[in-house]
Structure 1
Amino acid sequence: MQQTILEARHIQKQFHDPVTVQVLTDITFSVNKGEFVSVIGKSGCGKSTLLYILSTMDTDYTGELLIDQELMTGQSDAQLAHIRNEKIGFVFQFHYLLNEFTVLRNVMLPGLKLARYSEQEVEHRALERLKMLGIEHLATKEAYRISGGEKQRVAIARALINDPHIIMGDEPTGNLDTKNSEHVFEIFHELAEVHNQTLLIVTHDQGFAERSGRIIEMEDGRIIRH
């Protein structure tokens, strides 16, 4: 029996500025544990808007969103912030590392915020994630002293610190050269294959999408294949 990690049911989204524009129409799909899913579609098709809703950051929609079989729709901001930190790992196009902190500290931050483990244990777990991604030698470096490709790998380690149910990515290779994009793809592929990690990645990189486990394609705010 496959475990459903994420489920969208009839999600609709409108912008009102000043006229009403339908941005998402009847979005319904689910993602099972260990799936590596890419979301593709032309610029402006609604994929980033959808990701904001799926990640619980945008609550202004109709329909239902479930993460780990728990209904997100209608929860308070504080509850959603806690769920986000506990159950979702984020990797963006820009790594959003804090320059003045070391690599290790950057990876630890979501773990310290969740406060499920002692600081010592969070540090141990952060080092394990860095080791898994082959960058433990960078642990004591300040974030601004490492390369762009290394920063994105640190961002992935940070996304993994709380053992999230799902990792969501918004164009995580959008800012990287071919070699580093390949690195990131291989990391994601291994996370899904070896560690049974669930991934939902918005990308405009067709080659990346074709090699992921499944493609959800969007057009004009609708899903046209999934």
Structure 2
Amino acid sequence: MEKKKVIEAQKINKFFFSPTKTQVLREVSFSVNKGEFVSVMGKSGCGKSTLLYILSTMDTDYEGKLFLDDQLITGQSSEKLSRLRNEKIGFVFQFHYLIHEFSVLENVMIPGLKLNRKSREELEYIALEKLKVFEMQDHALKKANQLSGGQKQRVSIARALMNDPLIIMSDEPTGNLDKKNSDLVFGIFRELVVEFQQTMLMVTHDLELAAKTDRTIEMEDGRIISA
């Protein structure tokens, strides 16, 4: 049985125009299947973060086609993309981007509040359940700035899961963490894939981490050299 494609890029080209025209992505084509943990590797400046920005629907200025959940999303309106992004994509960044004056629970609830489909009580319950996955429920009422770096990153992963996204995209998620917390975050990612069949796409320059994912897409000078 053919695996369901969660996201597919077809011949993506990207140009920057500052000050001269530079091609940063060249004919990039690949897909990620449901339940797969894929890493995107390459030297700094190879185009991997630019690619993630396009895949996450944040950057719409590219040539080629992008499909999410079997739906062509290239050319869709910014309102529709914003909704799709909130509903189907979870994000984990190198910097956790938590709102410090909000409690941990409120931070996790944000994507659910944005989607505006459930009551606040339901969202609080879901957010607490997500925090339990990471053994962070006892910190729910603390302000985000009272947490350690590793705890903040766990909260940001709980937030990424809030709307049960189709895919989680992460850009150097362990870039700011020491080895212990880095291993912890990676262990959480692996558990999400194994236990919950969560699809993951991770940009990293860490060879050791990439080697532990199901598949690595290698990039060089804006091209995919192995997938």
Please report the TM-score for the alignment, with normalisation by the length of structure 2: 0.99
Cα deviation, 1:106-162, whole Å, max 9, x if unaligned, reads 000110110121111111110000001111111010000000000000000000000
Runs of 4+ in 1 over 6 A off after TM superposition: none
- Partner Cα distance (2:19, 2:182) in 1: 39
Q: Where in structure 2 are there 5+ consecutive unaligned residues?
A: none
CA distance in 2, matches of 1:30, 1:117: 32
Q: Percent identity?
A: 62
**2-structure distance, mates of 1:184, 1:203:** 13
1:162-173 equivalences in 2 (<5 Å)? 162-173=163-174
* Root mean square deviation, CA, Å: 0.5
Q: Which amino acid aligns with 2:131?
A: L
2:38 partner amino acid: V
Give, in whole Å, the separation in 2 of the partners of 1:20 and 1:109. Answer: 38
Which SS does the other structure have where 2:28 is aligned?
Answer: strand
State the partner residue of 2:153. 152
Determine whether 1:106 maps to 2:142.
no
Residue 105 of structure 1 and its aligned partner are, at CA, apart by: 0.3
Instruction: Measure the CA separation in 2 of the matches of 1:141 and 1:14.
Output: 44
- Superposed, 1:54-203 pairs within 5 Å as 54-203=55-204
Residues of 2 paired with 1:118 and 1:13: CA distance? 41
For these two proteins, the number of residue pairs brought into alignment is: 226
Report the Cα offset of residue 53 of structure 1.
0.2
Q: Which whole-Å CA distance do the structure 2 matches of 1:123 and 1:132 have between them?
A: 15
Q: Distance in 2 between matches of 1:109 and 1:162?
A: 10
Kindly state the Cα deviation for residue 87 of structure 1 after the two structures are TM-superposed.
0.4
Q: What amino acid does structure 2 have at the position aligned with 1:100?
A: E
Q: CA deviation at 1:19?
A: 1.1
